Chain A
């Protein structure tokens, strides 16, 4: 992100990236952490409740930070790519973990 000065010309694309792949990324991180700590996903359990807060907080942070990407395409690339990668990790974990 060095060099060019940051501006808000592509705010629609950046914000959309924060909303769509940003949400997917937040949920993916929740999924991976959940798989690692063997949560059952039952809302009465502590792990499910902590994961809920994790996902909400992450999404809010991503939405606040999405304006820092140098372009809309870059935002979609990083957040979208990140989401795909973390979801793939979750798929691998699901098949490996008992």
Chain B
């Protein structure tokens, strides 16, 4: 493809600066994001068994609800009927402790079951926060800041990432046909790294474009909606009115909501193929002085993309079982909402089931590796041009960047492994604060190590440290096979692969004794 050479030169420069600015943040975002593809299974794996009696059948759920609400009237405000109870949602009926949940992340919840004698048994469960912590790490691109502060910074990094993608494509296009499949391993180290970078970058380009655009929107949606609110007469009245006084509100209501089994059957008739997971009930203020019971069903359907990371949603009338909102119901959405949902599900990998999730795990790790190769290339290019001008040692900028690249990448990989191992080994559910301290202590130690150790020893020590942490995680995961053989094996295998990938350059660094060249 023919592009003016000066434009290519401009964008090559833009690419290297945009890449170097965003690269390390993106490394953390992609590494943690890849792991958060399996957030729910990891959380279930880390949550200790609740020790409740076996959940009642769906047909007996009304009895459980009646008895529970008599004993715990506060549960009526917001409760969930779980259709397939598991470790994280151990009871057929659960509700957030202390009223409403805080929205994001797992909340302390109460689960109810019936004892053999028919009495209500409840257990209060604090969920393990490790999987959620890794997801937050992904969303906040590794920054130890409150969510509100980290989001705009993430948005800026995502914009820089978008610019880096466009400029990278323009810089690479002229050489595309010549060098796409050529990984010239013997033509010098810099060339091999460049070829790998181009190969990875080109073949995961659609994935990266989706991630960049969606991340910009995820970061700035509140601000842009605020602008929209100022610009357009924000007529929420008709919408609310439709919900509260729609055609079904005009009809006389039956006295009691339908039983969960009837609701599931009604939903199955209206949306065949959609597999409901939870029925979320909430009492919401509607109209003057009135409170209405609303029902949102979360579920999945492998044939369609899902709006959430693991779920699509249907709004149901709890009294009639009629679908009143299909905006986020897979397969029943309008074309417009299906388009918006496509963006979300392409980011979350929430389409096509387990194979796509595994694919996203690989793409996520591949993305992290892409940013690592980008940093290496930048350092090598700078060093080359510095040597040409007669400078024998690295300038301060090159030195700082090479140390940061080593410290941040090993720090992130070690920190994540340690967090998972700590959460798996601790007897109770580990709290967000504790895991946060553990992660950032490990991360900081690795960055400090990268700066304080000599160039000769720094890289092998940190790389082998990362390998050791992942090896420990693999052993710990292998030992917890009783919590779920699939996820235990998956974590152990992934940790072993990561350990192997970082151990090879680590061992080579030790063996060669020429760590300066091997690790920079």
Is B11 a contact partner of A39 (Cβ separation < 8 A)? Answer: no
Whether, in the assembled complex, B59 has its beta carbon less than 8 Å from a beta carbon of chain A, the answer is: no
Distance to closest chain A CB from B315 (angstroms)? 11
Is A6 a contact partner of B6 (Cβ separation < 8 A)? Answer: yes
Residues of A within 8 A of B7 (CB): 6, 68
Whether, in the assembled complex, B336 has its beta carbon less than 8 Å from a beta carbon of chain A, the answer is: yes
Is B231 a contact partner of A63 (Cβ separation < 8 A)? Answer: no
Residues of A within 8 A of B14 (CB): 8, 11, 67
Instruction: Given the known inter-chain contacts A27-B227, A52-B221, please indicate yes or no for A40 contacting B233, CB distance below 8 A.
Output: yes
Instruction: Given the known inter-chain contacts A46-B340, A67-B10, please indicate yes or no for A56 contacting B232, CB distance below 8 A.
Output: no
> How many residues on chain B are close to A (CB under 8 Å)?
39
Taken residue by residue from 11 to 54, chain A's Cβ proximity to chain B (1 for < 8 Å, 0 otherwise) reads as 10000000000000001001100110001111111101111110
Instruction: Given the known inter-chain contacts A52-B217, A56-B217, please indicate yes or no for A44 contacting B229, CB distance below 8 A.
Output: no
Whether, in the assembled complex, A57 has its beta carbon less than 8 Å from a beta carbon of chain B, the answer is: yes
- Distance A11 CA – B229 CA, assembled complex (angstroms): 34
Is B217 a contact partner of A40 (Cβ separation < 8 A)? Answer: no
Number of A-B residue pairs with CB-CB distance less than 8 Å in the complex they form:
104
- Distance A38 CA – B6 CA, assembled complex (angstroms): 44
Instruction: Given the known inter-chain contacts A46-B334, A56-B213, A56-B220, please indicate yes or no for A67 contacting B11, CB distance below 8 A.
Output: yes
Residues of A within 8 A of B236 (CB): 40, 42
Taken residue by residue from 206 to 226, chain B's Cβ proximity to chain A (1 for < 8 Å, 0 otherwise) reads as 000000110011001100110
Is B229 a contact partner of A60 (Cβ separation < 8 A)? Answer: no
- Distance A6 CA – B3 CA, assembled complex (angstroms): 12
- Distance A63 CA – B11 CA, assembled complex (angstroms): 12
Instruction: Pick the residue among A7, A35, A53, A67 that contacts B343 (CB under 8 A).
Output: A53
Q: Give B contacts to A, CB under 8 Å.
A: 4, 6-7, 9-11, 13-14, 159, 162-163, 166-167, 212-213, 216-217, 220-221, 224-225, 227-229, 231-236, 238-239, 327, 334, 336-337, 339-340, 343
Can you list 20 A-B contacts with CB-CB less than 8 angstroms, sorted by A residue number?
Answer: A6-B10, A7-B6, A7-B10, A30-B224, A31-B231, A34-B228, A39-B232, A40-B232, A40-B235, A41-B233, A42-B235, A44-B327, A45-B239, A46-B336, A52-B217, A55-B224, A60-B216, A63-B163, A64-B166, A67-B14
Q: Which 9 A-B pairs have the closest CB atoms?
A: A41-B232, A64-B166, A41-B228, A56-B217, A60-B162, A5-B6, A46-B336, A6-B6, A40-B235
Q: 10 more A-B contacts (CB under 8 A) besides A34-B231, A49-B337, A57-B213?
A: A6-B7, A30-B227, A41-B228, A43-B225, A46-B327, A51-B224, A52-B217, A57-B216, A64-B167, A67-B167
